[in-house]
Amino acid sequence: MTSQANPLDAAILERPEEGRKEKAEKVDFKMVTFSLGGKEYGIDIMNVKEIARAGRFTYVPNVAPFVRGVYNLRGDIISVIDLRVMFHLPVEKREEDALESLLILRVEDHVFGVIVDSIDKVVGISRSSIQPPHPIFGDINVKYIRGIVENAGKLYIILDIAKIFSPKAEREEHPAHYEAPAAATPPARTGAPGPAAARSGTERSQTVEAEMTSGFVKEGLYSFRHFAVTAVNEAWFRTRFSEWERLRKGTDLQLHEEADADAFLDGFSSPYTGTLWGADYLDAVTSCLPETDGRSLNVWNPGCGKGFETWSLACALRRKYPQARVKIWANDSDLLAISMAPNMVFDVDEVPEPYREFLVKGRNGWTFDPAIRDSIFFEFHDVLNSNPLPPVDLILCRDMLSFLAPEEQGRVLNDFHEKLKGAGLLILGTNETAATDAWKPLSSGAVSAFAKA
């Protein structure tokens, strides 16, 4: 407890009286009660370190909207979360530097502050009188509610602080952040009429039908080729779908077998998939690379497939940064594809001109020179498992995200964001986009490049 006189202390002094009023029942659970958006809530007192009134929190850029900032609590910097924003409850307007009611909570080793409308008192109840949450308390997700209890004529909703703030819950929240844009467009599996409902007559039935068909096509792509239509590739899908309608001329638009899915996906792959990049694409990628005098360059190339793009990129990097020490981690979860990558042998006549200076003649044919070979680690690795990499300057991930499940795409993009250095560059497949607030597009055209926003 703080040395400041605060309402909690007062509340504790008050409590015995109240206990007598409540009589009979054994008090084995104490909670701090407070109000949020006009409703009464409680938090287990064991999670409450102290309470305080504070304001003028230091703003922290780029955090979730419910994080109000950080606060200096007698030398400890704690983050401050606005519970009302977190739970989408109305926030009363306050003056700029008015003090807010702050509950300082402790969950495991984390200490942080939460802002509530007003803090009431400490109420002692019997654990057995807590009733399970009821769905009608709809403002707050039921999984965050530990139970409901009645005390002195008031109903209190007891929040499960551990569930709301445990580090694990935080991690789970992140993918949701990325799913949001995907959800704005009809998700792959539903094909629900949704927004069309408001329109009228024949137009409506046509739109509904078109959306149903595109829904079926999405479903087909996912089940035959594990291609998930999300924000990453939605733009391409729409263009391709209208093209598809024209191609099939109103006949059967749906995908019945893998060959149909392949036909639909024809044209999705980035240029030079499964072969060394041609001079045009090589130059396009090179022009995206930032000017840097860095001595060392770490590159991550998940989903490298047979490794052609990794070799191409390695050459591009060597031409652009002849002095730098380049390290490329290339991984793929397809063992058959990647197993040939490290020992690739080329026919010198088929290799585009820009690469020839890096080739040396070996026992079995032409290979890249040892400096380039040593810069690449080809790994049999699944990007969905943990990726133990140092921070990287460049991520090249062409046409891989689209073939992950929607929630996995969000997770991997998050991981990219985490692993990429501040000034780093992300290159996706030509028809893919990172498409969230977290990334800003750098160029249009053949190379789909992004920087951290």
Residue 390 makes contact with other proteins by CB under 8 A: yes
Per-residue string for binding with other proteins, 277-296, x by CB under 8 A? --------------------
Pull the structure tokens for residue 190.
């539903």
Query: According to CB under 8 A, which one of 5, 75, 335, 353 is a site residue for other proteins?
Result: 335
Cα–Cα distance, 399 to 334 (Å, whole number): 14
| Pattern 337-366, other proteins, x by CB under 8 A | -xx-xx------------------------
**CB-based contact 290:320 (threshold 8 Å):** no
- Residue among 90, 290, 380, 453 that touches other proteins (CB under 8 A): 380
Q: How far is the CB of 412 from other proteins (least distance, A)?
A: 14
Report the distance separating Cα 261 and Cα 258, nearest Å. 5
As measured in angstroms, the least distance from the Cβ of 399 to other proteins is 20
Residue 50 pairs with which residues in a beta bridge? 104
Applying CB under 8 A, among 68, 84, 218, 381 the residue interacting with other proteins is: 381
The C-alpha atoms of residue 36 and residue 156 are separated, in whole angstroms, by 11
Terminal-to-terminal C-alpha distance of the chain: 41
How many angstroms separate the CA atoms of 249 and 237, rounded?
Answer: 18
* 59 binding other proteins? (CB under 8 A): no
328 binds other proteins (CB under 8 A): no
User: Which of residues 40, 283, 379, 408 is near other proteins by CB under 8 A?
Assistant: 379
With binding defined as CB under 8 A, does residue 378 bind other proteins? yes
Secondary structure of residue 381 in the 3-state scheme: coil
Binding part of the chain for other proteins, among 15-23, 231-239, 379-387, 443-451 by CB under 8 A, reads: 379-387
* Nearer residue to other proteins within complex by CB, 382 or 418: 382
Q: Is 385 in the site for other proteins (CB under 8 A)?
A: yes
Q: Is 311 in the site for other proteins (CB under 8 A)?
A: no
Q: Name the amino acid, one letter, at 280.
A: D
Contact predicate 207/196, CB 8 Å = yes
* Angstrom distance (rounded) from CA 122 to CA 243: 65
Determine, following the binding rule CB under 8 A, whether residue 3 of this chain makes contact with other proteins: no
Smaller CB distance to other proteins: residue 204 or 373? 373
Residues in the chain: 453
Q: Which of 62, 202, 386, 444 binds other proteins (CB under 8 A)?
A: 386
- Closer CB to other proteins, 25 or 334, in the complex: 334
412-445 burial: b if 16+ Cβ within 10 Å, else e = bbbbbbebbeeebbbbbbbbbbbbbebbeeeeee
Residue 172 binds other proteins (CB under 8 A): no
* Closest approach of other proteins to the CB of residue 343, in Å: 8
In sequence order, the 6+-apart residues with CB closer than 8 A to the CB of 78 are: 70, 71, 104, 111, 112, 113
Q: From CA 217, how far away is CA 237, in angstroms rounded?
A: 10
Nearer of residues 383 and 427 to other proteins, judged by Cβ: 383
**Rounded Cα distance, 246 and 443, in Å:** 29
- Which residues are at the interface with other proteins (CB under 8 A)? 333, 335, 338-339, 341-342, 377-382, 385-386, 388, 390
